[in-house]
A and B are shown apart, each in its own frame.
Chain A
Amino acid sequence: MGASQHAVFVTGVGAASALGTGIDAHRAALWAGRDGFRPIERFDTTAMSAHLGATWPGWDGRTQPAINRERDLAATSAPFPLHELALVAAREAWSSAGVVCDPKRAALVFGTCYGQGFKEFSPVADRIAASLDLAGARITISTACSSSTNAIGLARDLLQHDYADVVVAGGADTLLREAQAGFSALGVLSAEPCAPFSDPPGTTLGEGAGFLVLERAADAARRGATPWATICGYGLSADGFHETTPDPAGSGVSRAIRGALSDAGWLAGDIDYVSAHATGTANNDRIEWSAIQRELGAPAVSGTKGHIGHTQGAAGVLELILALVCHREGCVPPTLHFRGARSGCPCDPIAGAEPRPLAVSRALKLSAAFGGANAVVAYGFGTLPTRASPPRSRVIVTGAGVVGSVGALRLSNVLEVMEKRSVGPSQEVDLHGLGVEPRKLDRSARWLTAAAALALSDGGRREDMDRTGLFVAGAQMPAESAQRCAGSIQTRGIAGTSASAFARMSVNAPAGACSQALGLLGPTSTLSSGESSGLLALVLAAEWLAFRDDADAIVAGGVDELSGLPDDAEGAACLVLKRSRETGPIVVAGWGIAGRHRALEAAERAMAGRSVVEGLIVDGDAPAVAALKKWTATEGLGVIEASRLWGVGESTRSSVMAVVAAAHIAAGHAQSVLVVAARGASSVAIVLERGPR
């Protein structure tokens, strides 16, 4: 890496939505002023407050069967395979980019809110990656409506830090009965086509898939590829306010905007255009507009959910793509169905049917999700100066917490318990004793919040909340809330869908609840990438703190809830990472991410030239373990295999591995420990070291 950051280009684009399949179809629809709303036919909407949806024409004629004794939700969603929709867009992006590269250096970052049938997330990414022969890092982000926006930003980071040469980034979601029922129960659907910033208030759900192909500018230039745009930076933040209502002061959105500007090295006055989240609900639009005005003054703003509906996890990328299609012809997308501004909304959000000519050199894509996860991507055109790389900061571990069957453990006592074989049911933690009000936290949220609170208290004083973030690994939706929601539909019918259970039914809901309970308002993300996700969250946190200055600390970890499978375990584990000028007793010395079955590659990067470590903690198959042993000193801690760490679930395991490593260092058993999570969609490695005295 040189002294200045790499510019990252978008060299391929693909889309499928209610407007049609392919970029040309979307362009045609934009210039025809067409929206994609039609009465929903695939399931019965009589009991719901809205009957319109923005469904993909490719699935016309298919219906979603009802849930019954033989058919569960996964089975009824089978006619609408998410990967099928996603691949349509992903293939278009890939072939339009025309990129040729070593598959090991091609990565995928995929965002989705509900995955396949509200159950499978990472496996969908696997199918996309397999189809395109992407063998590098594979990351699935599930932060509800901001998933794909977050994905684009993360993809840029992967290129910045040389984890890949090409990254396919985007998102997809389908429109299923349960989603329409849930949003209907929340009272946020409009009976008419969604009218962002206008009347009547309310949103319209949609489905779709959008993907970008990203590569470093130098590489793209070398092969003569013309970019659609440059991705210049991004920001993340948590509202920490409520499951579905945004922070009324808009400070969460403000923080994300500021993070994006700072990452891109831009000033507020530089922004020519903002593609707003603009769901059409009274709360969102007003709060979002107030934040945009406060941070940016009065840039041109429009929202395209009036074209494609609210495509959930795909919203960020699809709306960015619509904007890029317009920008390519010197325009910005309009806001459809605008009949005068609702209170607190912009008077002219590019109202009209067709795209409006407007020169744009710097713009933002803004997404604000349920659970309060905000993401803003900064993009631009032409020659944009790249920012100098900020000096790399030292990252230390200041505390850890583990809860579940093991009880409630901190760094000081985790070793006593973790490495002994012992069986027991999970033990609820006294949240009041940790200063947390457990009211309204579902099971997953209680685990995660307890682990995070323990980890924060382990480190002493609480940090400045705006600047403390939360990165979480979760494999599933919170089971208790999902069951409560399903139960409500079963006993009361669709009309009786529990709004509060539905609001907690997303992979990022526990992170949102934890942010709220503990006031962690900095950057937030939720990963669902298989067994290595916990360690991946830790690595991404370390990366954020090392190279950015909009957060001082990040709580990183994972949470699992019992889902009824054998050998299931529940609980959560978190570590607190902090950026530090001085050193601390436990330093995060190196880290690496690579594709599946590429543990050595990840470990090599984490080792960063080091020839030996005193301990190895690994979750992998025998060959991987054998290969990794080469770095381990014969004396010292030796090798600890993850199977020795009992009572931990899929998302928690790799976080616990890191906690155990940190504890060994704190106890003086080893000067350095390499932790490798070799199972899962990506291989992830981290080296923890004792800080100099």
Chain B
Amino acid sequence: MSDVPDDVALYLERRERALGEARRLLASIINFVGEPADIDPDAGLFGTGLGLDSLDAVEVLVGLEIDLGIKLQGDDPMRLGLRSVNGVVDAIMRARGEL
């Protein structure tokens, strides 16, 4: 990608990676039938979108911690701004210092 500045290229590479991880995590939580790539990055988690409920919300936090080694402070995903798939990706990248 020589048409793109290095910092942007690096960010996009890391973003794609974190997006893949978030998609796979969420797909496993909701027993998603389909490819993780079918999960829209801006799809909402609760209510509309993926339709996660309060039980799944806890799973998201636990999954982030166990599967990805990312510990977030607090225990309410809503309050942590995890409202969409991209919100989860942001949390992952922030925890890694990539954002």
Chains A, B in direct contact (C-beta < 8 Å): yes
- Which residues of A are in contact with B by a Cβ distance under 8 Å? 185-187, 242-245, 431-432, 438-442, 446, 488, 491-492, 496, 498-500, 503
**B55 sits at the interface (CB 8 A):** yes
Partner-contacting stretch, out of B6-14, B56-64, B80-88, B89-97: B56-64
Question: Inside 8 A of B58's CB, which chain A residues have their CB?
Answer: 185, 187, 498-500
Mark B32-53 against chain A: 1 for CB-CB distance below 8 A, else 0.
1100000000000000001101
Would you give the shortest CB distance from B17 to chain A, in whole angstroms? 23
Contact status of A500 and B33, CB under 8 A, knowing A186-B55, A492-B62: no
Given the complex of chains A and B, what is the CA–CA distance between A441 and B56 in angstroms? 12
Q: Is the CB of A244 within 8 A of B55?
A: yes
Q: Is the CB of A243 within 8 A of B55?
A: yes
A-B CB proximity, top 9 nearest:
A500-B55, A499-B58, A438-B33, A499-B55, A439-B30, A500-B59, A440-B30, A503-B55, A500-B56
Closest Cβ neighbor of A504 among chain B residues:
B55
- Given A245-B54, A439-B30, A440-B56: 20 more A-B contacts, CB < 8 Å: A243-B55, A244-B55, A431-B33, A438-B31, A438-B33, A439-B33, A439-B51, A440-B30, A440-B31, A442-B31, A446-B31, A491-B66, A492-B62, A492-B65, A492-B66, A496-B66, A498-B58, A499-B55, A500-B55, A500-B59
Closest Cβ neighbor of B33 among chain A residues:
A438
Q: Is the CB of A441 within 8 A of B59?
A: no
Question: Inside 8 A of A242's CB, which chain B residues have their CB?
Answer: 53
Question: Inside 8 A of B29's CB, which chain A residues have their CB?
Answer: 500
Would you give the shortest CB distance from A54 to chain B, in whole angstroms? 25
Question: Inside 8 A of A488's CB, which chain B residues have their CB?
Answer: 62
Question: Inside 8 A of A442's CB, which chain B residues have their CB?
Answer: 31
9 A-B pairs within 8 Å (CB atoms) are namely: A244-B55, A431-B33, A439-B30, A440-B51, A441-B31, A446-B31, A492-B66, A500-B29, A503-B55
Given the complex of chains A and B, what is the CA–CA distance between A503 and B53 in angstroms? 12
Residue among A431, A439, A496, A499 having the largest count of chain B Cβ atoms under 10 Å: A439
Given the complex of chains A and B, what is the CA–CA distance between A242 and B53 in angstroms? 9
Closest Cβ neighbor of A442 among chain B residues:
B31
Give the contacting residue for B32; candidates A186, A244, A439, A499; CB below 8 A: A439
Would you give the shortest CB distance from B61 to chain A, in whole angstroms? 10
Would you give the shortest CB distance from A517 to chain B, in whole angstroms? 12
Question: Inside 8 A of B66's CB, which chain A residues have their CB?
Answer: 491-492, 496
Question: Inside 8 A of A498's CB, which chain B residues have their CB?
Answer: 58-59, 62
Given the complex of chains A and B, what is the CA–CA distance between A442 and B50 in angstroms? 16
Given the complex of chains A and B, what is the CA–CA distance between A446 and B66 in angstroms? 27
Given the complex of chains A and B, what is the CA–CA distance between A500 and B58 in angstroms? 8
Question: Inside 8 A of A187's CB, which chain B residues have their CB?
Answer: 54, 58
Closest Cβ neighbor of B30 among chain A residues:
A439
Closest Cβ neighbor of A185 among chain B residues:
B58
Would you give the shortest CB distance from A50 to chain B, in whole angstroms? 16
Contact status of A496 and B62, CB under 8 A, knowing A438-B33, A439-B31, A441-B31: yes
Would you give the shortest CB distance from A69 to chain B, in whole angstroms? 20
Question: Inside 8 A of B55's CB, which chain A residues have their CB?
Answer: 186, 243-244, 499-500, 503
Would you give the shortest CB distance from A603 to chain B, in whole angstroms? 42
Closest Cβ neighbor of A441 among chain B residues:
B31
Given the complex of chains A and B, what is the CA–CA distance between A418 and B2 in angstroms? 62
Question: Inside 8 A of B50's CB, which chain A residues have their CB?
Answer: 439
Contact status of A499 and B59, CB under 8 A, knowing A439-B51, A491-B66, A492-B66: yes
Closest Cβ neighbor of A503 among chain B residues:
B55
Would you give the shortest CB distance from B27 to chain A, in whole angstroms? 10
Would you give the shortest CB distance from B33 to chain A, in whole angstroms? 5
Given the complex of chains A and B, what is the CA–CA distance between A557 and B93 in angstroms? 48
Question: Inside 8 A of B30's CB, which chain A residues have their CB?
Answer: 439-440
Question: Inside 8 A of A245's CB, which chain B residues have their CB?
Answer: 53-54
Given the complex of chains A and B, what is the CA–CA distance between A503 and B55 in angstroms? 8
Given the complex of chains A and B, what is the CA–CA distance between A439 and B32 in angstroms? 5
Given the complex of chains A and B, what is the CA–CA distance between A446 and B59 in angstroms? 20
Given the complex of chains A and B, what is the CA–CA distance between A441 and B51 in angstroms? 13
